[in-house]
A and B are shown apart, each in its own frame.
Chain A
């Protein structure tokens, strides 16, 4: 099977280049991560992040044949040859497929992604009905891989100001939580021309999310909450 891999070594290379690799006798039922590991066996200087190998840790988000996805749950059989593997778009490249995620994490931190409760805490759990809890489905499962945010043209244009789909999905995860008591503050902080309203419903985020989540819908729901509060 043929691969074209993005290579860039800041200590050696003036600029990035694509390197061809060929792997013989590859079992196509295996995942792209398995192939990348075989390439690393040939060339230990080849660098990419990976860990759990089952799509829950979010380490190995890559641009695969032009679409963002997780290498560990992308079957080789689903890929057209040569398989072009690049780092996530729109992020500074540290080395080969490893990008600097600092900006992505900063946006995540800035939506205050934690439950805020001001009432005194009881000695037992807060009650939450199954219906209330079901509102968190499709939100809490985010693995912070960055596939969505780095596929978003609005983020490419305004990486410092637009929160991006991943952070906004998390903002909504807490807005949708019946236990949270920072509702107004959260909405207030998302107001303005950039933080959320740069979303133009291009929906790249939805197409690439490896967990099948829908950040566009979450953003839409935040907007509806804002409207309701105004009216």
Chain B
């Protein structure tokens, strides 16, 4: 059988906001662009983002990009790269206006401007009063942005491969990325997509953890594809736990609930955030709030018969605010908890939410790897969004910065690719040997016989990650976690499929996803074990302080030999002065 082939200028893998924003830029520049997505584009997980997108429009309170930059750096616990952060915050206003022009139905203020609400970690004047920087379409901002970007791509006639699963990148002997081997889910047939540039925009890996806010599809496929192509993953120890997931279930209750005036209480009815963050209180950064909830529950001040959650109170906001500003989360609360948010408190608990780490890139979205002095781009490969690590989020992402990240760097990568295509006019030849490894990966799941099931091992992995790599970590727990994940990796070899059919075989897709999750779990636990300090979302009980002297650096995990390497944080912004690390209090 000969392998079917298609040729495009650019292959975009993933049809969330990052992939679609890049595809739009490229299609509008008349590049031939193919978007491969394992689900129909509007089902990508960007659709579930609720609260909003940050930009210093100053529509509600005084604001400017420089304050936004400061907040983002402080939020990142100084691990974010200051050049990339300056770039993102400067671009924010233009990009939000661009989204509005493209049709995003933002909520509005009386004067007709875009509505903005306060969010966690935002301040005026470099740490002063609370800012209101998050532009919102009620609490469905991700839905509004994703649908609009898809619609504009329809207009630009972008070529979509809906319900195709990406197996592996194709790399030649010189290390140039030449496209990817993908598979039609509907027919089960492989397809080789040749491209001069390939952009990974596959999102995060929330499915690493048992209780998470993420969709079933968030298995970090692009992260694992990068690892298998010999590319390290950066800062994987930093995984965000969102403070307000629906207790025991994980569905997200947006930070907008607190932005609009909601607050947290423990079993004594105490607004406990006042103790942990005297100024910002409930609007401290997410890592701070999640730790506080965890401690309240651990010290016996949790609510409910088992004392295993705290309450989010939004019932005082009144029906009008709830219906106008938070309609979707109120629906969610009624559906999943059978609680009336206008009357009763909402049980919440921190839940795995966002992958701060990812594929190392520069601010043009080029994937970069270290060389002897500095780093160099991998020719033909780009990454944006949650699967990438620019790094604008560092050790802790601020709410409202992820939708911003995807449009800013989706656009930047699109622009850089346009330049690259101008200089590289022709496809490089693909040799059979370049495809061998990917084909072997594909056929591995044809193996028959008795063995462990995919779903069983996935469940075990998620439970291990939750128990051994959660909010609070120690050397001992992480070491046990690493051993357990290594054991899972070994047992992966014994996993077999019982369903070997071709047509719409979701069991086969889940097998590929499990392989990807195992690789990412190893990267996460190993990176967490290696970093002997507490910074942002990474809290080591045995190393409770941030240690800038030894650890103000990015970590890099390589699949081969499970090796760790490090690279410096870029502390020098593009035009303004550095914000030097200082104590982080809210």
Task: List residues of A whose CB falls within 8 A of some B CB.
Answer: 9-12, 29, 40-41, 44-45, 47-59, 73, 75, 94-96, 98, 101, 105, 109, 112-115, 117, 121, 123-130, 132-133, 136, 140-141, 143-144, 174, 177, 179
The one of A51, A123, A140 that contacts B144, using a Cβ cutoff of 8 Å: A140
Minimal beta-carbon separation of B522 from chain A (angstroms): 25
Residues of chain A contacted by B148 (CB below 8 angstroms): 114-115
Residues of chain A contacted by B140 (CB below 8 angstroms): 56, 140-141
Residues of chain A contacted by B186 (CB below 8 angstroms): 94
Establish whether residues B507 and A95, one from each chain, have CB atoms under 8 Å apart when the complex forms.
no
How many of chain B's residues touch chain A, expressed as a range? 35 or more
Establish whether residues B113 and A54, one from each chain, have CB atoms under 8 Å apart when the complex forms.
no
The one of B103, B331, B338, B501 that contacts A11, using a Cβ cutoff of 8 Å: B501
Q: How far is the CA of A11 from the CA of B504 in the complex (A)?
A: 11
Establish whether residues A98 and B504, one from each chain, have CB atoms under 8 Å apart when the complex forms.
yes
Q: How far is the CA of A104 from the CA of B79 in the complex (A)?
A: 46
The one of A40, A41, A53, A105 that contacts B251, using a Cβ cutoff of 8 Å: A53
Establish whether residues B455 and A44, one from each chain, have CB atoms under 8 Å apart when the complex forms.
yes
**A130 in contact with B108 given A51-B215, A114-B151 (CB within 8 Å):** yes
**A177 in contact with B103 given A45-B499, A54-B251, A95-B504 (CB within 8 Å):** yes
Establish whether residues A94 and B504, one from each chain, have CB atoms under 8 Å apart when the complex forms.
yes
A-B contact pairs, 27 of them (CB 8 A): A9-B501, A11-B503, A44-B454, A44-B498, A44-B507, A45-B505, A47-B504, A52-B43, A52-B215, A52-B216, A55-B331, A56-B143, A57-B45, A57-B47, A57-B215, A58-B43, A73-B335, A96-B504, A98-B504, A109-B154, A112-B155, A113-B151, A127-B112, A130-B108, A140-B105, A140-B137, A141-B143
**A94 in contact with B503 given A44-B454, A143-B143 (CB within 8 Å):** yes
Establish whether residues A128 and B108, one from each chain, have CB atoms under 8 Å apart when the complex forms.
yes
Q: How far is the CA of A49 from the CA of B510 in the complex (A)?
A: 12
Q: How far is the CA of A40 from the CA of B338 in the complex (A)?
A: 27
Establish whether residues B39 and A57, one from each chain, have CB atoms under 8 Å apart when the complex forms.
yes
Within 8 A of A (CB), among B26-66: 39-40, 42-45, 47-48
Establish whether residues B48 and A12, one from each chain, have CB atoms under 8 Å apart when the complex forms.
no
Q: How far is the CA of A25 from the CA of B121 in the complex (A)?
A: 44
Shortest Cβ distance from A73 into B: residue:
B335
Within 8 A of A (CB), among B498-538: 498-499, 501-507
Of A10, A12, A29, A125, most buried by chain B (CB within 10 Å of CB) is: A125
Q: How far is the CA of A56 from the CA of B108 in the complex (A)?
A: 23
Establish whether residues A125 and B114, one from each chain, have CB atoms under 8 Å apart when the complex forms.
yes
Of A56, A57, A109, A127, most buried by chain B (CB within 10 Å of CB) is: A56
Q: B332 on the interface (CB 8 Å rule)?
A: yes
Establish whether residues A114 and B113, one from each chain, have CB atoms under 8 Å apart when the complex forms.
no
Minimal beta-carbon separation of B497 from chain A (angstroms): 7
Among the listed stretches B2-10, B94-102, B300-308, which one makes contact with chain A, having 4 or more residues with CB under 8 Å of it? B94-102
Of B42, B137, B453, most buried by chain A (CB within 10 Å of CB) is: B42
